[in-house]
Amino acid sequence: MTRLSALLGGIGVVLGPLVACGGSDLVLPTETGPGDIALYSGNNQFGRAGAELSEPLVVKVLDRRGQPLANQRVAFGLAVEVSGAEITPGTAETGVDGTAEARWVLGSVSGAQTAVARVIGADDLEVRFNAIVGAAGPSHIEAVSGSGQAAPVGTELPDPLIVRVIDGFGNPVEGVTLSWAAEEGRVSPDESVTGQDGRATTSWTLGTSAGSQSASATADLNGSPVDFTATARAGSADRLLRVSGDDQNGRPGSRLANPLVVRLVDSEGNGVPNRAVSWVVATGGGAAEPVTSTTDDGGRATTEWTLGPGEGSNTLNAVVSGVGVVGFSAMASNGGGGGGGGGSGDATKLAFQVQPSRTEEGRRISPAVEVAVLDQSGNRVTDRDFEVKLELIRDGNRGKLKGDRDQRTQAGVARFSDLEVDREGEYRLRASADGLPSVDSDRFEVEDD
């Protein structure tokens, strides 16, 4: 045998078994390991916060020849931890087709969330699943801004009313319809739909009555209704009205029994506060004290009038610059009607010197109610005191009068400074004193707080 024959024979010994296996089935040991991982299904799904995605996350693992790799463990997890999110199982094993899967419960935060699948033992082999997370179902409605504003009556508030609708996790919810309503004035629109930020808005034009006003947003959700309040200020001064104190009688040089009272109002009849009223004697001499007073919250201003030294007619004007003039007249005579604030005639009647005004339930009536004891000439009886009592005339309503309802007169007047009514409705007050006929006040309204 030649050396070449011997060499070929040796090679045959080595290659024989391999050739017997078939050249196409030749598998080297390193080719059976994991070579790649791919997204198979479940990527780019949409789901609700806190809910499980409708489809599982599925990956496919291939060996280095590109063939499905069975029995390979794959780890599933979150790229970033999100409250409430969970992927199960945390580890899955591929089947004969090379696939492994897990289920994904989304976290509580809306937006984008990401999961990762990684081949165990080959950490560089990984894929990522993305999901878009929308809010869960609408759960709660809450105020954002717009309450506590102030504006003149009949005008639109400078800032809109804004509410927000959220799910149980606090995510904003889009597409929820809600209704708006104003107890006074109007809202526009009266129905709106939440946007992507969960917010809905409306504009509020105040009603024509000065004071506290309210509006609300309603939906079939927790937190509904959402209440808003605003303060309607009186508009520009429009008219000066005479309230009381005209056509009195007194002795020359004496102070009239009753003060002069005017009221400054806007075009809607609301009292205009903090405006100066000048009291100017026109004829007869005499003097006003003070000569200038300021309107109170109800638009009222008062002064005391001392008549001139001679008998006859006296006149005085109340003046508000740029608005108007209101005149008062009085008769000075030595024949009757005590002056100097000390009427000595017999008491014959009661009169509301300051009527009760509109208020809110549980709020003090302001200005304070005043009841005067008068003689037959209409002068206050000041030489003795009387106990005056008040009661509430309900006229079918259920409110109760609270505060000190019994007061003694001082200088002929009983003043009730802490009265309030605990329920909304329209009421009157009745004043009484021993030996005198009772008298009823004007009607006044108590609004819901």
Q: Each residue of 217-249: pLDDT tens digit?
A: 999 999 999 999 999 999 999 999 998 999 899
Query: Is the same domain home to 228 and 250?
Result: no
Residue 366 lies in a domain: yes
- Print the SS3 string covering 218-273: ECCCECCCEEEEEEEECCCCCEEEEEECCCEEECCCCECCCCEEEEEECCCCCECC
The C-alpha R_g of the chain, in whole angstroms, comes to 45
**Looking at 206, 233, 260, which one is the last position of a domain?**
233
Residue 129 lies in a domain: yes
**With the CA atoms of 205, 208, 212 and 213 taken in that order, what torsion angle do they form, in degrees rounded to the nearest 10?**
-40
Q: What is the pLDDT of residue 8?
A: 35
Which residue has better confidence, 16 or 293?
293
Residue 322 lies in a domain: yes
Residue 55 lies in a domain: yes
Residue 438 lies in a domain: yes
Q: How far is CA 279 from the centre of its chain?
A: 43
Query: Is the same domain home to 61 and 92?
Result: yes
CATH code (residue 244) = 2.60.40.10
Query: Is the same domain home to 334 and 243?
Result: yes
Query: Is the same domain home to 129 and 153?
Result: no
* pTM of the full structure: 0.60
State the burial class of residue 195 (Cβ atoms within 10 Å of its Cβ: 0-12, 13-18, 19+). Answer: middle
Q: Each residue of 165-209: pLDDT tens digit?
A: 999 999 999 999 999 999 999 999 999 999 999 999 999 999 998
Query: Is the same domain home to 241 and 336?
Result: yes
**The most confident of 73-77, 342-346, 395-399, by mean pLDDT:** 73-77
Query: Is the same domain home to 63 and 124?
Result: yes
Query: Is the same domain home to 444 and 354?
Result: yes
Residue 23 lies in a domain: no
**Looking at 341, 356, 376, which one is the last position of a domain?**
341
Q: Each residue of 360-395: pLDDT tens digit?
A: 998 999 888 999 999 888 888 988 889 999 999 988
Residue 53 lies in a domain: yes
**Looking at 87, 110, 134, which one is the last position of a domain?**
134
Helix or strand or coil: residue 29? Answer: helix
Query: Is the same domain home to 335 and 352?
Result: no
Residue 16, pLDDT above cutoff 70: no
Computed over every residue of the chain, the mean pLDDT equals 89
Residue 9, pLDDT above cutoff 80: no
Domain that holds residue 251: 236-341
Q: What is the pLDDT of residue 344?
A: 52
Angle (nearest 5°) at CA 182 between 177 and 185: 135
CATH code (residue 410) = 2.60.40.3960
Q: How many domains does the chain have?
A: 4
Query: Is the same domain home to 378 and 323?
Result: no
Query: Is the same domain home to 144 and 103?
Result: no
Distance (Å, whole) CA 8 – CA 297: 123
Q: What is the pLDDT of residue 384?
A: 85
Residue 4 lies in a domain: no
Query: Is the same domain home to 335 and 350?
Result: no
Residue 19, pLDDT above cutoff 50: no
Q: What is the pLDDT of residue 335?
A: 65
Q: What is the pLDDT of residue 30?
A: 59
Query: Is the same domain home to 316 and 263?
Result: yes
